[in-house]
């Protein structure tokens, strides 16, 4: 079955010379990509007993133009997460919380759930978001299927959906909810700073109180014009070629120009996914984008070095959008690279733990102090 799926994917990609997505290509996508699972009714309110697996209301816009202009057309989605509440949390002393977004490979042993436990030990609640399974992408599905069926804009939508749900908990301080992510999830966490997402996905709220990008790629330039002014921490390694450090510095400086407090830490000799349990190695077949910049026009349509990437109508279905993404591969041929250092690096992991907790304590304490001043 897996070989059949890969052959069908190759068939779609092989027709990349066609300018328009055909009905056959859209049909093939609908045939080989999984449907969304049937989940329990999503909850809209957290109480003092809620923890563990949670289901929440979210959506799947897939592309930026849908998120910005046509969210009513986004596919309704029941999201899935795991809520960790520290023992110290009470309704009289609510605690801060972090939304945790995994990388493109999925939730990794040694990383997302372990960070949630670390946060709990330090009096911070956490939700580990699984953005693949709610869209039918179970562990047995291929990596290529996962990254073509779920986009960073789906991930950002999930993050804000969880943020709104966390604000209903009597155990969580709604003014101190941050978001962090690893790799693909780190990129999504940083991109979530764009005020357009906040206003579209969580209107009438203050938005996230801080953001953390852990080795998230930086080849996308949203053209962000404003944020909610909250701080950003970025953690990267000098030997992680999936993070073009110059491009990352550019993204961070663009945010600094908007008066965002950006704390950037680069670990000498560190690679990618230093928390993972797998031994560190140079993974020669690991793909990444370098030397290209993806920007967006006013409607949210992507451009690669100034040229249009996709040929889609505003009313294109999710299947048509997946097919278009599959067909766009050849346009990245000049900037698709392979090979970077990845895997367990305990020294970097321990330092990153320390740097993360220091950033969270400093900024959550600041948020609490500001809230107290505003109340008085």
| Whether residue 3 has pLDDT greater than 70 | no
**In the predicted model, is pLDDT for residue 10 greater than 50?**
no
Q: 7 pLDDT exceeds 90?
A: no
Let me know if residue 76 belongs to a domain. yes
Residue 12: CA count within 13 A, CB half-sphere: 31
Greatest CA separation for the chain:
65
- Position 363 pLDDT exceeds 60: yes
Radius of gyration of the chain (CA): 20
Residue 297 placed within a domain: no
**8 Å CB contact between 265 and 243:** no
- Position 302 in a domain: no
> 27-36, 51-60, 182-191: which range is least confident on average?
27-36
Which residue range(s) make up the domain with 355?
41-291+335-375
User: Among candidates 79, 83, 181, 178, which has minimal Cα distance to 131?
Assistant: 79
Per-chain mean pLDDT for the chain: 91
What is the reported pLDDT for 274? 98
In a domain, 320, yes or no: no
Alpha helices (H) along 19-111? 23-32, 64-69
The domain spanning residue 364 has which CATH number? 3.40.50.1820
Residue 36 is assigned to a structural domain of this protein: no
Residue 19 lies in a domain: no
Angle between helices 23-32 and 318-327 (to 10 degrees): 100
How do residues 44-56 score in pLDDT, each as one tens digit?
Answer: 999 999 999 999 9
The residues with which 272 forms a beta bridge, in sequence order, are 342
pLDDT of residue 372: 57
pLDDT for 90 beyond 80: yes
Residue 304 lies in a domain: no
- The mean pLDDT of 289-298, rounded to a whole number, is 94
Confirm whether 353 is domain-assigned. yes
- pLDDT greater than 80 at residue 41: yes
Q: What is the pLDDT of residues 161-172, one digit of tens each?
A: 999 999 999 999
Tally of domains within the chain: 1
Q: 310-349, pLDDT tens digit by residue?
A: 878 888 999 999 989 988 888 999 999 999 999 999 999 9
Confidence of residue 190 (pLDDT cuts 50, 70, 90): very high
């Amino acid at each position: 079955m897996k070989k059949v799926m890969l052959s069908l994917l190759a068939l779609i990609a092989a027709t990349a010379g066609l300018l328009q997505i055909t009905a056959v290509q859209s049909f093939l996508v609908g045939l080989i990509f999984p449907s969304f699972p049937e989940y329990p009714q999503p909850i809209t309110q957290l109480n003092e007993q809620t923890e563990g697996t949670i289901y929440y209301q979210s959506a799947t816009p897939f592309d930026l133009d849908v998120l910005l202009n046509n969210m009513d057309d986004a596919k309704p989605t029941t999201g899935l997460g795991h809520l960790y509440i520290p023992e110290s949390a009470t309704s009289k002393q609510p605690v801060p919380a972090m939304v945790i977004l995994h990388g493109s490979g999925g939730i990794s042993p040694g990383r997302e759930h372990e960070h949630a436990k670390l946060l709990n030990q330090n009096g911070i609640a956490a939700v580990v978001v699984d953005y693949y399974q709610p869209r039918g992408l179970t562990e047995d599905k291929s990596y290529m299927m996962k990254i073509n069926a779920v986009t960073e804009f789906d991930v950002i939508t999930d993050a804000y959906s969880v943020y709104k749900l966390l604000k209903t908990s009597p155990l969580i301080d709604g003014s101190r909810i941050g978001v962090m992510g690893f790799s693909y999830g780190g990129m999504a966490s940083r991109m979530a700073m764009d005020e357009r997402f906040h206003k579209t996905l969580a209107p009438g709220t203050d938005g996230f109180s801080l953001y953390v990008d852990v080795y998230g790629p930086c080849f996308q330039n949203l053209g962000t014009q404003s944020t909610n002014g909250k701080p950003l921490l970025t953690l990267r390694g000098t030997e992680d070629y999936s993070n073009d450090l110059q491009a990352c510095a550019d993204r961070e400086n663009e945010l600094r120009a908007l008066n965002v407090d950006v704390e950037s830490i680069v670990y000498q000799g560190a690679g990618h996914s230093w928390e993972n349990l797998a031994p560190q190695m140079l993974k020669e077949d690991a793909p990444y984008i370098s030397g290209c910049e993806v920007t967006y026009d006013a409607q949210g349509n992507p451009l690669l070095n100034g040229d249009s990437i996709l040929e889609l109508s505003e009313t294109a279905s999710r299947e048509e959008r997946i097919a278009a993404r599959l067909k766009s591969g050849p346009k990245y041929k000049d900037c698709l690279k392979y090979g970077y250092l990845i895997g367990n690096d305990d020294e970097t992991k321990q330092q990153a733990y320390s740097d993360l907790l220091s950033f969270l304590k400093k900024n959550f304490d600041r948020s609490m102090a500001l809230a107290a001043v505003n109340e008085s």
